Amino acid sequence: MSTIAHRRADVDGFNVFYREAGRAGAPKLLLLHGFPSSSHMFRDLIPLLADRFHIVAPDLPGFGQSDMPDRERFAYTFDNLANVIDRFTEVIGFDRFAVYVFDYGAPTGFRLALKHPERITGIISQNGNAYVEGLSDGWNPIQAYWKDPSQANRDALRALLTKDATVWQYTHGVTDPTAVSPDGYSLDDYYMNRPGAHEIQLDLFGDYQSNVALYPAFQQYFRTYQPPFLAVWGKHDPFFLPPGAEAFKRDLPDADVRFFDTGHFALETHAADIAAAIAGFLLR
């Protein structure tokens, strides 16, 4: 079993925590987590792939063990998350890589692909959306905040930052909730309750509309560059619906789209299945 190293990179003064495993010189794989998690969500996946790939999984700015500067010093937008991760890949020497995108990791990773299409060797999207038909009604309160960024609409979103909401994200749509370790959602809740974290997450909820605005650009990238593409989708995801996964085939006719009988955090229950799909896909 490959050792997982826990490292920190100085990215132009921004401290980015990351997990690294595998042999230097092996095909590179960048893992990008989502809300409200961290690179800890890949704890089961990394050991299953590290014998064949050089894997790096950073914590996004404001998440996990990466720096969480106050909002006056760092604007929490998806453009800025992507800018930091872009520079992070350059600092650590990830010049050409496949990228695994999940949830918030998708608009982050797709921005990297838009900026540097020559660097992307393949994309694995695990419940990482790029089509409006993938957005469920669960987005309605957030979309209301986009239309009217009032304090009342902002405060209404605080219910999404509670531990109960995080546990629900992990367990909704899972056949056997006892298969979901409490470690992941408990750690997420710990990070979520640091001073200032709620306001940062509310800023990102507000800025998520920038991702939807970029969907046409992401789709144009897919059509133009035809990156090798694998979708591995928890089909009971309450936020990103199966039609969002199927839509990739409109722009990527050769995309491999697979559904798993689980929810949003599909790795919690199907890490081995997803690892096998990724290995087969990338080694082709």
Taking the CB of residue 175, how many other CB atoms lie within 10 A of it?
10
- Residues with active-site annotation: 264
Q: Residue 201: its pLDDT value, please?
A: 98
Q: State the DSSP code for 138.
A: G
**101 CB-side CA count, 13 A:** 27
Q: What is the pLDDT of residues 6-40, one digit of tens each?
A: 999 999 999 999 999 999 999 999 999 999 999 99
Q: How many angstroms separate the CA atoms of 145 and 173, rounded?
A: 26
Asked if residue 4 lies in contact with residue 46, where contact means CB atoms within 8 angstroms, the answer is yes
Residues 222-233: what's their mean pLDDT?
98
Instruction: Give percent of the chain with pLDDT exceeding 70.
Output: 100
Q: What confidence tens digit (pLDDT) does each residue in 155-209 have?
A: 999 999 999 999 999 999 999 999 999 999 999 999 999 999 999 999 999 999 9
Measured distance CA(155)–CA(205) in Å, rounded: 12
Q: Are residues 21 and 55 in contact, defined by beta-carbon separation less than 8 angstroms?
A: yes
Say if residue 1's pLDDT is above 60.
no
% of the chain beyond a pLDDT of 90:
99
- pLDDT given at position 43: 97
pLDDT higher than threshold 80 for residue 139: yes
> Which residue from 118, 111, 160 is spatially nearest to 139, judged by alpha carbons?
160
DSSP string of 211-258?
Answer: HHHHHHHHHHHHHHH---EEEEEETT-SSB-HHHHHTHHHH-TT-EEE
Closest CA to 41 of 20, 57, 28, 25: 57
Residue reference for tokens 């020497």: 93
Per-residue pLDDT at 24: 92
- Supply angle C-alpha 187, 191, 196, rounded to 5: 165
- Residue 2 to residues 18, 124, 220, Cα–Cα distance (Å): 16, 22, 38
Question: Which pLDDT does position 144 carry in this prediction?
Answer: 98
pLDDT at 126 over 90: yes
Indicate yes or no: pTM above 0.95: yes
Q: What is the mean pLDDT of the chain?
A: 97
Token pair for 183: 């470690």
pLDDT at 284: 85
**Helix 209-225 with 105-115: angle, nearest 10 deg:** 50
List phi, psi (to 5°) of 257.
Answer: -115, 120
Sheet holding 256-260, edge to edge: 5-11, 14-21, 54-58, 28-32, 97-101, 120-125, 229-234, 256-260
Beta partners for residue 101, in sequence order = 32, 125
CATH code given to domain 5-138+210-283: 3.40.50.1820
Name the pLDDT band for 2 (thresholds 50, 70, 90).
confident
Model pLDDT for residues 33-88, shown as the tens digit of each residue: 999 999 999 999 999 999 999 999 999 999 999 999 999 999 999 999 999 999 99
- pLDDT-derived band of residue 225, with 50, 70 and 90 as boundaries? very high
Residue 278 tokens read as: 């990724």
